[in-house]
Chains A and B, each alone.
Chain A
Amino acid sequence: MEKKKPKNVFVQGPISSEFIGTSIAKHQTKTSIGAHNIFLGQVRADEIDGKIVTAIDYTAYEEMANQKFHEIREATFEKFDLTCMHIYHSLGTVKAGEICLFVFVSSPRRKVVFKALEYVVEAIKADVPVFGKEIFEDQTHQWKQNN
């Protein structure tokens, strides 16, 4: 088990597939791991009242959000036998089709990573003060809400 101080989870703009690939590669030295599980949140081009979402502009109450991410991390290590966990969330504009959330959990065994990943993602959706402005093609917008 690995305990960490609150750190900055946020990255500006979308999370690239190169970043995700590099993150996976970094774990090749951690040979006690037998199973990784990854969640990638992608911005969806929802159609709302005839208009298509082209991007989400993310903002956050960053100090509180990083503290909440930290609490979620601590609670997850408490509940599940994980070797390590990484969370990255976008701020600013992320276009439809791009990645805005990257959660990466690793454990010696597979069963635990399925449960742990769902726990982490649901906690992020419910508890972290991140706000999303859905931008339409005509530059009008509405505010996203998790449910």
Chain B
Amino acid sequence: MQLTIKYFGMLAEATTINEEYLQTEVCSVSQLVKKLKNQYPKLDNADFKVAIDQQLVDQNHIINSEVEVALLPPFAGG
């Protein structure tokens, strides 16, 4: 299945992209994050939350459909 991965703020800077498509099997959020950290070593020390289809999820959440995954660094609104 194909996921859309979005990067924001310092994470877009670290990966040098805002968005990409990724082919993957069913996996947990933590497995996906591990894969992304392998691809982008600069993510390793980054602090971020993960949202799936605009809802925050925890590391155990299972990704089993073609969703939009967003990596969100610390918020700075206001």
Contacts and interface: CB of A to CB of B under 8 A. Distances in A.
A28 interface: no
Interface in B21-78: 51, 54, 70, 72-78
Interface stretch (A17-25, A78-86, A110-118, A138-146): A138-146
A136 interface: no
Contact-size category for A: 20 to 34
Contact-size category for B: 10 to 19
Contacts of A144: 76
Interface of A: 41, 56, 58-61, 63-65, 67, 89, 100-101, 121, 124-133, 143-146
Nearest to A127: B75
A126 B72 CA distance: 13
Most chain A CB neighbours (cut-off 10 Å) among B8, B9, B51 = B9
B10 interface: yes
B54 A143 contact: no
Contacts of B73: 131, 143
A130 B77 contact: yes
A133 B9 contact: yes
Given A131-B9, A132-B76, A145-B75, 13 more contacts: A58-B77, A59-B12, A61-B51, A61-B72, A63-B54, A89-B77, A124-B78, A125-B78, A129-B72, A143-B9, A143-B74, A144-B76, A146-B75
